[in-house]
Amino acid sequence: MTVAQALREAAGALSAVSDTPRLDAELLLADALGVSREALLLGAPDTAVPPSFAEMVARRRAHEPVAYIIGSRAFWTIELAVSPAVLIPRPDSETLIEAALEHFRDRAPRRVLDLGTGSGALLLAALAQWPEATGVGVDMSEAALAVARANAERLELAARADFIHAGWEAASSGGFDLVLCNPPYIGTGEQLPPEVALHEPASALFAGKDGLDDYRRIAPALKLPGGGAACIEVGTTQAAQVQALCEAAGFMTYVRRDLAGHDRCVVATPSA
């Protein structure tokens, strides 16, 4: 079977489980061939298709996320290894980096704290953006920390990034002028797509009945120096509640929207 035929058949098979069946097929086949998606699309259409591709398509038909099948996901300017031990980084979370860029403008944060670092996505994206910065990622999952450390090594950022087993209390340690945080914010009764519910770690998703339990712990623990900022991801209906929690802790806040126009990031800054 040729590449063109394989892509057509796979996209058809995946159309029942994916909103982007053709893209999924291209990413899976590129990985099976050991080439980039761009190289696949520019390559010869009669290239032989590896037998492993059929197994990959079958896994995707069973709702396994593409990122877990191929073991990687692009985020901001970096490529991250991912596994079922960590939440898959999403474009929505890039809003936090955009908010930090807007806040710091022509200067750079010196020290970055990533609360609930998972794959290390936010911290490593920030360190790639600001070459003079250093930072710490914390997580309660040792398996997640192993993924984050490996990503830092592969991206040659390990000398500037430490990863520590800790919880939200790390927000009170001080010494960080940028805090990034994508906490769990799904209510325990909410329905999720099978790709998420069946495969991504529940500890990175759910936060009590209303999805706000972790924000209630993070907001009062935050410590920021003058000129600092905390960029906190929120669900699309949660910005006002998270702002209220941060303001009750003495911070000023504003909201940044993602590319789809949804409230996505609450930015907390010290009161004057």
pLDDT in tens, 162-219: 999 999 999 999 899 999 999 999 999 999 999 999 999 999 999 999 999 999 999 9
Rounded CA-CA distance 45/4 in Å is: 6
Rounded CA-CA distance 205/248 in Å is: 25
Residue with tokens 């098979």: 13
Average pLDDT over residues 260-272: 95
Q: Give backbone dihedrals phi and psi of 170, rounded to 5 degrees, phi first.
A: -60, -20
Output the six-digit token pair for 105.
């403008």
Spell out the domains of the chain, with CATH numbers in brackets.
3-62 (1.10.8.10), 85-270 (3.40.50.150)
250 φ/ψ sector (left φ>0, alpha ψ -120 to 50, else beta): left
- For Cα atoms 245, 249, 251, give the angle at the middle one, nearest 5 degrees: 95
Output the six-digit token pair for 261.
């126009």
Q: Which amino acid is at 252?
A: M
Q: Is the pLDDT of residue 47 over 90?
A: no
Q: Is the pTM of this model over 0.85?
A: yes
Q: Is the pLDDT of residue 19 over 90?
A: yes
Q: What is the mean pLDDT of the chain?
A: 96
Q: Model confidence over 2-11: pLDDT tens digits?
A: 899 999 999 9
Q: In 65-176, where do the E strands start and end?
A: 72-75, 78-81, 111-115, 134-139, 161-165
Q: Is the pLDDT of residue 119 over 80?
A: yes
Q: Model confidence over 206-258: pLDDT tens digits?
A: 999 999 999 999 999 999 999 999 999 999 999 999 999 999 999 999 999 99
- For Cα atoms 243, 240, 225, give the angle at the middle one, nearest 5 degrees: 10
First to last CA, the chain: 66
Alpha helices in 173-221 (DSSP H): 194-197, 213-221
Rounded CA-CA distance 41/204 in Å is: 35
Parallel, antiparallel, or unpaired for β 229-233 and 263-270? Answer: antiparallel
CB neighbour list of residue 265: distance below 8 Å, 6 or more residues apart: 95, 96, 98, 99, 231, 232, 233, 234, 255, 256, 257, 258
Output the six-digit token pair for 177.
């002028």
Cβ atoms of 210 and 187 within 8 Å: the answer is: yes
CB neighbour list of residue 25: distance below 8 Å, 6 or more residues apart: 6, 7, 10, 11, 14, 57
Average pLDDT over residues 130-136: 98
Q: Which amino acid is at 98?
A: E
